[in-house]
Amino acid sequence: MECEHNYPILHESVLAQVVGLDSSRVVWSALEKQFASKSRARKMQILRELQTIRKGSKTMSQYFLHAKQLVDSLATTGNPMNDSNLQQIILSGLDFAYDVIMTTLTATVDDIDMDDFYAHLLAFDMRVEAQ
């Protein structure tokens, strides 16, 4: 498919999926199914990664950034995650050396914004690394 100025409207790989379809409605329906399926698969992949993410040998900054990138990717599939859930995932991926900060942060009555949460993790991480 091309527009008036011979600029392709659909990429060749997408065009191959809709050639021969007889109306714009059928084309849009086919495209929606194709991309929705990919989006669902991507969502499930990201959720699996979030369930198994661990700090391991990464620095706290690397670990936090990795978790944040996964949550941002999840949001691009139309499934945003709130900060409280992200914080819980991050805490769940820490090992026993972080039990004190995990207890402190989870026992806090008020919600902690992400900047403060990150600052607490970094400060505690410096203590752990110094030992």
Same domain, 34 and 61: no
Domain of residue 81 covers 53-130
Same domain, 83 and 117: yes
Alpha-carbon distance values, 12 to 15, 31, 35, 36, 131 (Å): 5, 13, 15, 19, 57
In a domain, 79, yes or no: yes
Dihedral of CA atoms 47, 52, 57, 59 in degrees, nearest 10, equals 30
Same domain, 31 and 67: no
Interval 32-86: pLDDT, tens: 777 766 778 889 999 999 999 999 999 999 999 999 999 999 998 889 999 999 9
- How many domains are contained in the chain? 2
In a domain, 46, yes or no: no
Rounded to an integer, the average pLDDT of 9-37 is: 77
For the whole prediction, is pTM greater than 0.75?
A: no
